[in-house]
A = this chain, B = another copy of it.
Amino acid sequence: MSIHGKTPAYKLASRERHPEPTVVRVGKQAVGGGANTVIAGPCSVENREQIIQVAQQLKQYGATMLRGGAFKPRSSPYSFQGLGEEGLKYLAQARERTGLPIVSEVMDIEHLPMACDYIDVIQIGARNMQNYPLLRAVGRLKKPVLLKRGLSATIEEWLMSAEYILSEGNPNVILCERGIRTFETATRNTLDLNAVPVVKDLSHLPIIVDPSHGVGIARYVPAMSLAALAAGADGLILEVHPDPERAMSDGQQSLTPAEFNLLMQRIEKLTAPIAPEVAARSV
């Protein structure tokens, strides 16, 4: 329950202090504790029709939450930056139609109150994993927070960032492994599934996996999704776009709805027999 026998600097995030796995409630749903969360949706919300239509398909195929970016952190100031509040409104309309809770990224403290009017889970992106003012700000809320691992963050640093949120009073933290930066160029990032058993060992917080960003190439996403669940992850977050080739961002890593449907069937086949065993696992 520690790395190389050292006492960890995180306290509230530590499994030693809190032996039972944390279950984060999002509406009527649970993340962690044996539930199998599948968050799906396009990288960016592009327009009202797109997000409502894809949400309906995702719901039908078994997704448990809807993702979609309204504020996009882009390497270039000249790239599409997202629809902003308008995008959040469309997401809320998709929720009305489908009942799927909404996960969306917020980068800016001043947007938090407005964003909280629309979204169910606040995503902190990899680039902001050590944006401490932002972590403290979401720590003062009660909304669940999906905390992505930074591109070159050690697992210990990631848990320390969770600690920032927990220490402000918000216990509803969901960790998300999304790939780390290595020398390998065949994949966009290196999805680090080792993080799944390590986090389960060190912490009580639920952990989900983002194979879309982790491997970055759609045809490798199904294999890594199955692997993540077999490793013990509490769920997945997946990019699904009705027409990946025309996506305004990250098309090359997006599944089509049909591919998502097929993956969900494979997941069902994989996880049904191992579900009780996975639920009981601490590592």
Contacts and interface: CB of A to CB of B under 8 A. Distances in A.
A164 B277 contact: no
Contacts of A201: 219-220
Interface in A146-191: 151-152, 154-157, 160-161, 163-164, 167, 180-187, 190-191
Interface string A125-144: 00110111100100000000
A214 interface: yes
A229 interface: yes
A195 B283 CA distance: 23
Contacts of A110: 109
Nearest to A232: B223
Nearest to A226: B230
Contact of A77 (B152, B167, B224): B167
Contacts of A224: 193-194, 197, 231
A156 B269 CA distance: 32
Contact of A230 (B11, B77, B187, B227): B227
Interface in A51-109: 73-78, 107-109
A3 interface: yes
Nearest to A79: B9
A-side interface size class: 35 or more
A220 B131 CA distance: 30
Interface string A11-49: 100000000000000000000000000000000000000
B231 A75 contact: no
Contact of A220 (B194, B229, B274): B194
A163 B231 contact: no
A228 B167 CA distance: 36
Interface string A233-258: 00000000000000000000000000
B220 A154 contact: no
9 contacts: A77-B163, A128-B130, A128-B131, A151-B152, A182-B190, A184-B192, A190-B194, A194-B215, A269-B273
Q: Which 8 A-B pairs have the closest CB atoms?
A: A152-B152, A230-B230, A227-B231, A127-B130, A197-B223, A226-B230, A227-B227, A108-B133
Interface of A: 3-4, 9-11, 73-78, 107-110, 127-128, 130-133, 136, 151-152, 154-157, 160-161, 163-164, 167, 180-187, 190-194, 196-198, 200-202, 214-215, 219-220, 222-224, 226-232, 266, 269-270, 272-274, 277, 281, 283
